[in-house]
Amino acid sequence: MKSSFIDKVLQRLDNLSSKQVEVVVDRLAREKGLLEQVLEALQEGVVLFDTSGVMMFINDAAEGMFGLRDQVCVGKSLDEILPGLDWNSFSKDEASVVSRDLEVLYPEKRVLNIYSAPIKDTIDLEDEEVVAGRVLLIRDITSQIEETEQSLESERFNALTLLAAGVAHEIGNPLNSLGIQLQLLRRKLVKLENEGLVAHVDKAQSEIERLDTILKDFLHAVRPSQPKREATDLNEILRASVEGMEEELAARNTQLSIELADSLPQLQLDRGQIRQALYNVVRNASQSMSANGGQMWVSTKVTDYEVGLTVRDDGQGISPEEMGRIYEPFQSSKKENGTGLGMLIVRRIIREHGGEINIESEIGQGTTVSFAFPRYDQRMKLLGTNDEAIEVGS
């Protein structure tokens, strides 16, 4: 409703009959109802407060974002409704406009942008504006944040891919040549029975092999091969992976407990790539333990929708700072022999199989790495009528 209409009504209020007042009130009620319908139809959250921070209105979208559908909010202050949020942070002064991002963990994890602006009213005779309250406009920007992160990750991989071509050519060939020359030199030194020089050559060969491993890890990280999928039992891959690492785990005094779910469904997996991912995770867990060793638990489980695999250890854990960089290339927490590419490779492999990876860790308590593979191929869905989803390839 236009403010000029209200102004005219107020100026002539004393001259209006009861019938005319009834008509005006009815029109105001209809206008208010229409305005509320518009606000409820918005996907963005809208919350209105008075000048003291007491809520006057909240639409359905805002209630859903904060998990407030079962609560009575109108008439309560902001800190009563959402403990931890300070009204002053959205209202520094009456005329201020504030925009803030907020991470919400309930009812689901998401990132919200909250725009706060004053609501102004006009005093009749002097046309002087006063602040009558504040409006909070709330947008869910979770998908935008994820898209930005994916874009940055894609840019990093593109840069690494370009670098990889040069690295493979400029370093790979000379390393192979050096390896061959050292082998020939070692044979001659063995014939001469010069054990001291043989030891030096062996050390040089060991370093060349380490450089070759770093180069291969780097190339796998930026240019992974396409998975060659075949029907596979995840338990069988796990057993084979652990058997191949028994000596290494024993040398590190790692006590391994295995608990496998019965009758896992066959999954379309690349056995070699999944073994590589498991090797990286199990080796990381073993290396995170103290010199006296530690305990590691490996388990599988199955639900109606996915097959899960978990590797848990009681090692030193990962700090929040390291956790934030765990998938960044060349960011390793290992003091020696760490390329910082292992978890990057693991995530690429799991994602290319349609799975998800989750890492939880606490300093001094250990780390848990979980894989989840869909039981059916979920790369594509046809949407039917009435929000009915039809699986393709399942």
- Condensed to tens digits (0 to 9), the pLDDT of residues 236-258 reads 999 988 888 888 888 888 899 99
| Residue 116 pLDDT exceeds 50 | yes
Which of 52-56, 92-96, 209-213 is modeled with the greatest confidence? 52-56
Please report which confidence band the pLDDT of residue 108 belongs to, taking 50, 70 and 90 as the band edges: confident
- Condensed to tens digits (0 to 9), the pLDDT of residues 310-329 reads 999 998 888 887 887 787 76
| Residue 7 pLDDT exceeds 70 | no
CATH fold of 230-374, please?
Heat Shock Protein 90 (3.30.565)
**Spatial separation of the C-alpha atoms in residues 141 and 39, rounded to whole Å:** 19
Average pLDDT score over residue span 55-79 = 86
User: What is the reported pTM?
Assistant: 0.48
- Condensed to tens digits (0 to 9), the pLDDT of residues 193-241 reads 888 888 888 888 888 887 777 777 666 655 656 778 899 999 999 998 8
pLDDT at res. 324: 78
Domain ranges of the chain: 42-140, 146-222, 230-374
pLDDT at res. 12: 65
Cβ neighbours for 62, distance < 8 A, ≥ 6 positions apart: 45, 46, 47, 68, 136, 138
- Condensed to tens digits (0 to 9), the pLDDT of residues 132-188 reads 788 899 999 988 888 887 777 777 767 766 676 666 667 777 888 888 888 888 888
**Spatial separation of the C-alpha atoms in residues 161 and 218, rounded to whole Å:** 9
| Residue 330 pLDDT exceeds 60 | no
**Spatial separation of the C-alpha atoms in residues 10 and 258, rounded to whole Å:** 80
CATH fold of 42-140, please?
Beta-Lactamase (3.30.450)
| 28-32, 112-116, 177-181, 389-393: least confident range | 389-393
Closest by CA to 44, choosing from 57, 59, 33, is: 59
Kindly report the average pLDDT of the chain as a whole number: 79
For 41, other C-beta atoms within 10 Å of its C-beta total: 10
